[in-house]
Amino acid sequence: MRVLVTGANGYIGRHAVTALLHRGVSVAAVDLRTDCIPTGADTYQTNIFDESIDLYHLTGYPDAVLHLAWQDGFIHQSLAHLDNLPHHFRFCQRMVKSGIKTLAVMGTIHEIGYHVGKVDENTLCYPQTLYGIAKNALRQALFASLNDTIHLMWLRAFYVYGDDKASHSVFSKLSESFERGEKLFPINSGKGKCDFLPVSMLAEQLTACVLQNKVNGIIHCCSGKPISLAEKLKEYIDEHGWDIRLQYNIFPERSYDSPALWGDTDKIKQIMEGTAKR
């Protein structure tokens, strides 16, 4: 089994590469930079959007592609999301035409938009950011064009944390605030409930998905357990033993943040429990 991982140098990508290597998988790790890719993978510093490059041949004829590459993932209104959308679609098309049998693409909870309650694969999407709009459009385009030709998975991630110096999440901002010696960390009301998952566990879920071919379609990579932002941040502070307190209602709620939202875990549990094997 050989897996091509795009965005392998990124926040999630490097953890996915590590998880695949721990499974004994041959990994072709591709990105514009390769300085943070874990040792053990075959690294390729190249632009996946360059259509003059035969990436399938270059990376050793992979069996599967785990497509994680995405510019400005933490900048939800960046124009890059729409600018790059057709490039992502054509990249996926090229890899399928080249011969890969499994395509797993990273999705995001921001496809959903405002929603209260559990999200399953039939939940309607009303994205309210350019990031969510572009991801939603890519998913729709891929399933409309490729669903009957290969094993296609859309791996929708929820709220990821951990390895926070490499991310731009509220947890990384909390860490930076503590390191500056600040005693108060300003947030919104903190009442909104989210589905949080450590990046290391997300990597394990991504790996388990790409190494099986029984479960396809939209798969939610999540915990299935909603917890308030305030509660999660307090837990995070206690785990690190930091002397810093939350300062509530300093920032307004974002219009697209739901009061409570979590993922359906039926498919990911089946995969993680090993009842879906290649």
Question: How many other β-carbons are positioned within 10 Å of the β-carbon of residue 37?
Answer: 24
pTM of the model: 0.93
Q: Which residue has the higher pLDDT, 254 or 177?
A: 177
Which residues participate in catalysis according to the annotation? Answer: 131
pLDDT at 213 over 50: yes
pLDDT recorded at residue 278:
47
Sign of CA dihedral 232, 236, 237, 239: positive
DSSP conformational letter for 166: G
pLDDT at 255 over 80: no
pLDDT at 35 over 80: yes
53-112 confidence digits (pLDDT tens): 999 999 999 999 999 999 999 899 999 999 999 999 999 999 999 999 999 999 999 999
pLDDT at 277 over 60: no
pLDDT recorded at residue 239:
93
- Identify the burial level of 143 via C-beta atoms within 10 angstroms of its C-beta, where 0-12 means exposed, 13-18 middle and 19 or more buried: middle
pLDDT recorded at residue 266:
97
pLDDT recorded at residue 275:
58
147-173 confidence digits (pLDDT tens): 788 999 999 999 999 877 777 789 999
Q: Is the CB of residue 107 less than 8 Å from the CB of residue 157?
A: yes
Closest by CA position to 207, among listed 69, 14, 39, 37: 14
Q: Is the CB of residue 16 less than 8 Å from the CB of residue 3?
A: no
Instruction: Give the pLDDT band of residue 258 (cuts 50, 70, 90).
Output: confident
Which DSSP string do the residues of 74-128 spell out, in sequence order? T-TT-THHHHHHHHHHHHHHHHHHHT-SEEEEEEEGGGTBS--EEE-TT---B--
Q: Return the structure tokens found at 118.
A: 């559990």
Q: How far is CA 180 from CA 163, 164, 175, 177, 243, in A?
A: 18, 15, 9, 5, 12
